[in-house]
Amino acid sequence: MIFAAQIRAARGLLQISQVELSVESGLSLQTIKNLEKDDEAIKKASLMTLEKIKSTLESKGVRFTFSKEKDESGKFLEIGVKLRTT
């Protein structure tokens, strides 16, 4: 699973707009906007939609990170993104 904040952060690292991500992933601009807004939209999205975004960003060098630790409710304590340099 990926999170809204990770999508926003990944775009920031890559310095690409929502429009660019939309075009490159084959998803509508409104879909990108909705998914970046909050994690509720992420939970409602299809796996195919999330995979399109994830694979598009990963093909540009983004790596999604998650801590191994979770809180009492099962949420990751830390999430993030990194940019491969090679």
Confidence label for 74 from pLDDT (cuts 50, 70 and 90): confident
Beta-bridge mates of residue 74: none
Domains (range + CATH), the chain: 4-83 (1.10.260.40)
Q: Give the dihedral of Cα atoms 33, 37, 38, 44; nearest 10 deg.
A: -20
Name the token pair of 66. Answer: 């998650």
Q: What is the mean pLDDT of residues 31-58?
A: 97
One DSSP character per residue, the chain reads ---HHHHHHHHHHHT--HHHHHHHHT--HHHHHHHHH-HHHHHHS-HHHHHHHHHHHHHTTEEEEE-S-B-TTS-BS-EEEEE---
pTM attached to this predicted model = 0.86
Residue 68: its pLDDT value, please?
Answer: 77
